[in-house]
Structure 1
Amino acid sequence: MTTPAAVADRVAEILGGNWTATAGPWNASGHLDAPGADRYTLHVDAHGELCLWARLNPLGPVAVFREVDTPEDIEAVAEGIAGEIRQHHTPAHQG
């Protein structure tokens, strides 16, 4: 089983630099942080979709991804999440 925390780990690797991933309780969520960046959270919603949230965007998820089952799916979703973060990235001091 792939957890949101495991996906967050892979996303941090893809983003590189100072990005780090931390697991939430029971690996049910994953958090992505970098100096000067918004904090992003991954979790699975009630529909089984992986949601990417940004702390400075409280109106809803930044992006929603389908459930991941295979290693290929995980890699594709991780790349997609990294792309969304790059596009959405806002320095925290500009909030």
Structure 2
Amino acid sequence: MARSFFEQPREQPHTPYTVARAALEFLGDQWTALPGPWGTTGHLRSPDRIPFTVGVCEAGRLYLRNDSAGDSTHLPYDSSADLAGIGRAIAEAIGGLY
């Protein structure tokens, strides 16, 4: 909890949901994206209905998880990075988790 003005959390330009939507451009029109509760996650669903979660871990790093298999990976991006670059990285990382 912030105790002063200078300790306030900074505004994040991209939420996990906007990052998941950016990945759709590289995944194709058969994929769908949905927001998670309170905007804390984004959810991708493949054409064969396999769910993936995009979120931020406790260390502040972006992660991608295959919810069906339970496998996950961290991506070296934060929310201030280029949105298209993050979307492309998610699309590439999905291939390793599929």
Normalising to structure 2: TM-score of the pair? Answer: 0.76
Larger radius of gyration: 2
Unaligned 5+ runs, structure 1: 90-95
Q: Tell me, in whole angstroms, the C-alpha distance in 2 between the residues paired with 1:16 and 1:67.
A: 24
Q: Which amino acid aligns with 1:77?
A: I
Alignment: residue pair count: 86
Cα drift, residue 20 of structure 1: 0.5
Which structure has the highest helix share of the two?
A: 1
Unaligned 5+ runs, structure 2: 1-12
* Residue from 28, 49, 68 that aligns with 1:16: 28
Task: Report the 3-state secondary structure (helix = DSSP H, G, I; strand = E; otherwise coil) of the residue aligned with 1:62.
Answer: strand
Normalising to structure 1: TM-score of the pair? Answer: 0.78
Structure 1 residue runs of 4+, over 3 Å off? none
Contact kept in structure 1, 2:72 and 2:97, CA below 8 Å: no
Q: Percentage identity across aligned positions?
A: 30
Q: Tell me, in whole angstroms, the C-alpha distance in 1 between the residues paired with 2:49 and 2:77.
A: 25
Q: Cα RMSD over matched residues?
A: 1.7
